[in-house]
């Protein structure tokens, strides 16, 4: 069933009714607040093989959430490089990406708009303390002049191909007055793809789609975007999903299969799937059309999200979650070929309750293992971070048990295996690895934890740091007297 503009009102009502009885629609989950008092938070992400959460504050600070609390020392502080944000400011520190080999290659990459109104892509190493990046050792990778104060994009991510992708807005004002998004000689209004390690300051990947065309900047991967503020890769398939903020009437979701670049998403020729400039005759058959659009009766600024690939809520596997910053509505759907299906309004399910609310969702993000989080931007000093966790019951938000242990992945494993532990109230958590005789091989956690989903890992080493031999082991998780175990197979 297509959800194009001319079918939108009918399709939403029909699909929502149909999906009310599907397993994914009935999936029992809740949101729980992890952190509050954040200063204009705009993004959350995780690092590979790392259970920490990294929260980007627009003011120029990155915070770490670990062990049930915000760490007191910032992971990165570049506050002096960016302006102090206000409620409607679109500049500042906007994005964070980790090198694919992190922490072995201990580099992080950020996207920010500096005090001179330039987008800067910069690389920072870690200090000897892995929870702190060295702000004094920045390497500027790319600088792009900005003509106006809005439409900066902000998300940058390493793709499955290990190249860095950068989402650039059209530079601002309204209606893209200089038509930058359609100008192949400019980097604004584009998705860029570079190799930030293989050159100085970067190299162009040899298979970029416009590399041999002298009329195009070789960094361009795709073009014709207005403000791809939040976008993501499907961590299973590598497909690209773009939440594209609209102008007057329409918000859109763009989709591209893994490894396929060269798209022209149409801005400013089109807004959503309607002609914009010119108002007629924009030739949509020559452009790449969105997979989904919604009108401004439903909101005014899309918050692009993620395809859920976590293990805590298996019923949601493959569902794309996105939101609207203005209306605070949250939805999901599944891609079915060129169209969409299983459209569900998730707003009520995502409501945290208890007097809390998610009023301005600015990011739907994921940790290093695909679990889902929502960033509430707030009004200056009251930003919040929420986690989506299984409720374990269809009867209401109160869970039947306090503990749920997910499946370790990969299993069998040779280097490390990770597993989600869901806690539904605060308490003391113990996580151990034992051998087949019940003898303790390694202790992974023994501490108080707040409610939430924690992604933990075992690197195959014993309590003395030695490599454990190949064999069968058991993961044992204990919380408030309740224990769950899972077998592990270690191969060397």
Share of the chain above pLDDT 90, in %: 73
CA distances from 278 to 179, 266, 268, 448, 482 (A): 12, 11, 8, 60, 65
Q: What is the percent of the chain with per-residue pLDDT over 70, rounded to a whole number? A: 92
| Average pLDDT rounded to a whole number, residues 399-423 | 82
Q: Say which residue the tokens 């979650």 belong to.
A: 321
Task: Return the closest-CA partner of residue 112 out of 146, 154, 70, 160.
Answer: 154
Report yes or no: 82 and 399 within 8 Å, Cβ to Cβ: no
Note the pLDDT tens digit of each residue in 377-408.
999 999 999 999 887 543 333 344 688 888 88
DSSP for 23-59, written as a single string:
HHHH--EEEEEEEEEESSEEEEEE-TT---EEEEETT
- Per-residue pLDDT band for 22 (boundaries 50, 70, 90) equals low
- What's the pLDDT score for residue 17? 38
Total-model pTM: 0.81
CB proximity list for 278: less than 8 A, separation 6 or greater? 269
Answer with the residue of higher pLDDT: 32 or 209: 209
- Does residue 23 surpass a pLDDT of 60? no
H or E segment at 11?
Answer: helix 8-19
Domains, the chain, ordered by start: 5-390 (2.120.10.30), 403-490 (2.60.40.1930)
Q: Which of 253, 254, 315 is CA-nearest to residue 23?
A: 315
Q: What is the pLDDT of residues 223-246, one digit of tens each?
A: 999 999 999 999 999 999 999 999
Q: Mean pLDDT score of the chain, rounded to an integer?
A: 90
CB contact set of 411 (below 8 Å; sequence gap of 6+): 417, 486, 487, 488, 489
Q: State the Cα–Cα distance between residues 210 and 480, nearest whole angstrom.
A: 58
For 186-204, what is each residue's pLDDT tens digit?
A: 999 999 999 999 999 999 9
Contact criterion met (CB below 8 Å) for 425 and 456 = no
**What pLDDT was estimated at residue 369?**
82
Q: What is the pLDDT of residue 337?
A: 84
Residues 53-82 pLDDT 10s:
999 999 999 999 987 889 999 999 999 999
- DSSP secondary structure string for all residues of 425-489: S-EEEEEEEE-TTS-EEEEEEEEEE-SEEEEEEE-SB-TTSPBPPSEEEEEEEEETTEEEEEEEE
| Residue 368 binned pLDDT confidence (cut-offs 50, 70, 90) | confident
> What is the reported pLDDT for 37?
96
């Amino acid at each position: 069933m297509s959800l194009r503009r001319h079918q939108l009102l009918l399709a939403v009502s029909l699909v929502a009714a149909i999906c009310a009885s599907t397993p994914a629609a009935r999936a029992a989950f809740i949101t729980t607040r992890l952190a509050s008092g954040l200063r204009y938070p705009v993004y959350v992400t995780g690092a590979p093989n790392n259970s920490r959460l990294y929260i980007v504050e627009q003011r120029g600070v990155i915070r770490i959430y670990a062990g049930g609390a915000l760490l007191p020392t910032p992971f990165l502080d570049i506050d002096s490089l960016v302006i102090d944000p206000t409620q409607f400011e679109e500049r500042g520190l906007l994005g964070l990406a980790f090198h694919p080999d992190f922490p072995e290659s201990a580099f992080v990459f950020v996207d920010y708009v500096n005090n001179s109104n330039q987008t800067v892509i910069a690389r920072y190493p870690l200090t000897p303390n892995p929870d702190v990046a060295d702000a004094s050792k920045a390497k500027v990778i790319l600088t792009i002049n900005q003509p106006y104060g809005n439409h900066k994009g902000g998300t940058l991510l390493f793709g499955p191909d290990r190249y860095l992708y950068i989402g650039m807005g059209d530079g601002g004002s309204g209606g893209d007055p200089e038509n930058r998004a359609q100008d192949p000689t400019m980097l604004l209004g584009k998705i860029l793809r570079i190799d930030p390690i293989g050159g100085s300051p970067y190299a162009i990947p040899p298979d970029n789609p416009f590399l041999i065309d002298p009329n195009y900047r070789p960094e361009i991967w795709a073009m014709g975007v207005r403000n791809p503020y939040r976008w993501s890769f499907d961590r299973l398939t590598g497909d690209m999903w773009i939440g594209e903020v609209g102008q007057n009437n329409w918000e859109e979701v763009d989709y591209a299969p893994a490894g396929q670049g060269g798209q022209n998403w149409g801005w400013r020729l089109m807004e959503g799937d309607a002609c914009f400039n010119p108002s007629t005759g924009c030739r949509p058959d020559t452009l790449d059309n969105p997979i989904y659009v919604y009108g401004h009766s439903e909101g005014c600024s899309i918050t692009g999200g993620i395809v859920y690939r976590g293990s805590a809520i298996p019923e949601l596997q493959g569902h794309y979650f996105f939101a609207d910053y203005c209306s605070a509505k949250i939805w999901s759907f599944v891609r079915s070929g060129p169209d969409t299906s299983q459209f569900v309004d998730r707003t009520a399910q995502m409501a945290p309750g208890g007097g809390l609310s998610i009023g301005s969702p600015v990011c739907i993000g994921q940790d290093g293992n695909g679990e889902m989080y929502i960033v509430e931007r707030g009004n200056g000093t009251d930003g919040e971070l929420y986690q989506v966790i299984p409720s374990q019951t269809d009867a209401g938000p109160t869970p039947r048990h306090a503990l749920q242990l997910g499946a370790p992945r990969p299993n069998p494993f040779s280097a490390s295996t990770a597993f989600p532990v869901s806690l539904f109230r605060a308490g003391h958590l113990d996580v151990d690895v034992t051998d087949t005789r019940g003898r303790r091989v390694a202790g992974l956690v023994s501490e108080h934890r707040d409610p939430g989903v924690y992604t933990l890992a075992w690197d195959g080493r014993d309590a003395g740091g030695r490599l454990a031999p190949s064999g069968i082991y058991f993961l044992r998780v204990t919380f408030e007297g309740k224990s769950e175990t899972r077998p592990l197979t270690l191969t060397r």
